[in-house]
């Protein structure tokens, strides 16, 4: 059985208020993709220019499909124009959950 992929990506955006609806649409589209177990979009309370995604994919191959499809490529083109720097991304394995 393949391992699930947990991913956390942190973004700091210029024009964050205007971009937030586009980010939400990407989160919704991502949740509908095969292999996506969850995809959360959160926003920092103290600095609303900071966002993070927390996502889980059944297998790495589903994540690869996600980042290589037309929806993600269009989103990436839009977001890369407004981020202050490349996002910080962590690929992770779950050690414990909400037992």
Contact 23, 51 (CB under 8 A): yes
**Which class would CATH give 5-42+58-92?**
alpha beta
Contact 52, 6 (CB under 8 A): no
pLDDT for position 41: 93
- Residue carrying the six token digits 């509908």: 32
pLDDT tens by residue, 67-82: 999 999 999 999 999 9
Within 10 Å of residue 78's Cβ, how many Cβ atoms? 13
pLDDT tier at 1 (50, 70, 90 boundaries)? Answer: low
Q: Is the C-alpha dihedral spanning 89, 93, 95, 98 positive or negative? A: positive
State yes or no: pLDDT of 5 exceeds 80. Answer: yes
Indicate the average pLDDT of the chain: 93
37 vs 60: CA distance, rounded Å:
12
pLDDT tens by residue, 14-48: 999 998 999 999 999 999 999 999 999 999 999 99
Domain positions in the chain are 5-42+58-92
């Amino acid at each position: 059985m393949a391992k699930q992929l947990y991913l956390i990506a942190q973004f700091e955006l210029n024009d964050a208020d205007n971009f937030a609806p586009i980010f939400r649409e990407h989160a919704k589209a991502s949740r509908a993709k095969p292999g996506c177990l969850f995809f959360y979009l959160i926003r920092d309370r103290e600095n609303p220019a900071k966002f993070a995604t927390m996502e889980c994919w059944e297998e790495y191959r589903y994540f690869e499909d996600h980042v290589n499809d037309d929806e993600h490529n269009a989103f990436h083109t839009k977001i890369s124009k407004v981020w202050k720097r490349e996002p910080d991304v962590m690929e992770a394995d779950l050690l414990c959950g909400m037992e």
